[in-house]
Amino acid sequence: MFVGLDQGTTSTRAILFDDDFSVVHEARREFRQIYPKEGWVEHNPEDIWQTVVEVLEECQRVANSRGKKIDVIGITNQRETVVAWDSETKEVLHNAIVWQCRRTAERSSYLRKEYGRVIKEKTGLVVDPYFSATKMEWLIQNVPEVQKAYNKGTLRFGTIDSFLAWKLTGRHVTDYSNASRTMIFNINTLDWDDELLELFGIKREFLPEVVDTAQFIGYTDDGIPVASLVGDQQAALFGQTAFQKGDVKCTLGTGSFILMNTGNEKIYSEHNLLSTVGWKIKDELVYALEGSVFITGTLVNYLIKNLGFAKDSLELTELALQVGNNGGIYFVPALTGLGAPYWDPYARGLIIGLTPGTDKRHIIYAAFEGIAFSVGQLVMLMEKESNIKINALKVDGGVSKNNLIMQILADVVNTVVERPVNRETTALGAASLAAIALGLVTKEKLQEIRKIDRIFTPKQSREEEFNKWKQAVNRALNWES
């Protein structure tokens, strides 16, 4: 049996897969979100570790109860989040600074102006507080314990995969997909970048060794091999068997992450999409083009909880279907600013086009369009920048269950949207990468196993609505300055 350990932003989950990769069990634990100040987000690494221990133990119990054992664990994780610890005392030195944390916004604005181009060329990223580098810099400059370890030479940094690999196996490692999210890793040379390390005051010895995405790392105390570390969005790309250049997946969760496999070619985006490492397995190096939408499932919850429009997403969909169109309403879901291609932290949510004839059903329909249009816009940009016509958009994540949103997405992109039966693609990706590392499965086998639940084919043009929505987005930009 295989375990995909998915250490996410709000919960830690371990999915136990049978030898044919069918899901046997899901263990899940939520943990504390810490908000020390407006816009700051932290996690206590010890809380995270505790949840990891619990979910792994639970999976082991289930495997044992079936007379089986766990053959391998693959770890996938919320990306960019930084943990600092001391290699000598083995103490964690501060709470983890989470990818969502905006504490380095000012520093990032300066860096974007001064070094934006060179950082993008080296790392494939658009300078933003989202990435790890300015978080590490902040820890060095502001936390006395971190400074002490810095001076002693015992400071160690890691993203969550790295922290967990260290806790589980004692090794200080990360993989290429996670390293490429730090903004100090050069995706051309595939090494930590000395100039960037100097810019952020980070020493190479503080950083993990970068290893292949599918590679034996070490054994847990219980003797189970850990054989993959992979960022969660890249894991989902792999779990969707998006193995060919031009394959695209979109995970619609709290937010949406769209990744296109661009093969061994790194695309320099003119529209602020990110270039990142998909995975590296021996001499196979896959780059990906990535776009993120910050608000997706959050908007559905917002309609239910904050606006009280319905009791659940099923009822929301029924209401939207009753009207069947937006009634002239456009909804920009910029509740926490906008990600790609705008990268505007000052944009805010907008509902526009209200008339006396508007009722909540139009607003719901417009919100669904807003979700699909935000994703669709990035998918279309990817087609343009890669010069590849997408054959099928592979979706997963909670919101992909919503048939209406999926249909609008298929319409606006004018592409088939394909939803697999197993929507646990992130954990599946990590588990299958780990199984590949130990020679327990092949990519061909994974393609055979994957089953489609439903295909959405384009039914109507949404061009007019999409263009109007983009006008609405322009009005939502730079609002909260």
Ligand X SMILES: O=P(O)(O)OC[C@H](O)CO
Q: Which is nearer to ligand X, 174 or 317 (CB)?
A: 174
Phi, psi (deg, nearest 5) at residue 305: -85, -50
- On whether the CB atoms of residues 291 and 248 are closer than 8 A, the answer is no
Q: Which is nearer to ligand X, 79 or 135 (CB)?
A: 79
Q: Which is nearer to ligand X, 298 or 358 (CB)?
A: 298
Peptide bond into 458 cis (omega under 30): no
- On whether the CB atoms of residues 378 and 253 are closer than 8 A, the answer is no
Nearest approach in angstroms of CB 102 to ligand X is 14
Q: Which is nearer to ligand X, 81 or 415 (CB)?
A: 81
- On whether the CB atoms of residues 48 and 55 are closer than 8 A, the answer is no
Binding site for ligand X (CB under 6 A): 8-9, 78-80, 99, 232-233, 253-254
Q: Which is nearer to ligand X, 8 or 376 (CB)?
A: 8
- On whether the CB atoms of residues 26 and 39 are closer than 8 A, the answer is no
Nearest approach in angstroms of CB 290 to ligand X is 9
For residue 446, which of 5, 22, 154, 100 has the smallest C-alpha distance?
A: 22
- On whether the CB atoms of residues 266 and 286 are closer than 8 A, the answer is no
439 — alpha (psi -120 to 50), left (phi > 0) or beta?
Answer: left
Q: Which is nearer to ligand X, 225 or 297 (CB)?
A: 297
Nearest approach in angstroms of CB 230 to ligand X is 11
Nearest approach in angstroms of CB 253 to ligand X is 5
Task: Classify each residue of 397-422 as buried b or exposed e, where b means 16 or more C-beta atoms within 10 Å of its C-beta.
Answer: bebbbbebbbbbbbbbbbbebbbbeb
For residue 167, which of 28, 12, 1 has the smallest C-alpha distance?
A: 12
Q: Which is nearer to ligand X, 80 or 411 (CB)?
A: 80
Nearest approach in angstroms of CB 9 to ligand X is 4
Q: Which is nearer to ligand X, 81 or 186 (CB)?
A: 81
β pairing state of 209-211 and 330-332: unpaired
Residue count of the chain, please give it.
481
Nearest approach in angstroms of CB 100 to ligand X is 8
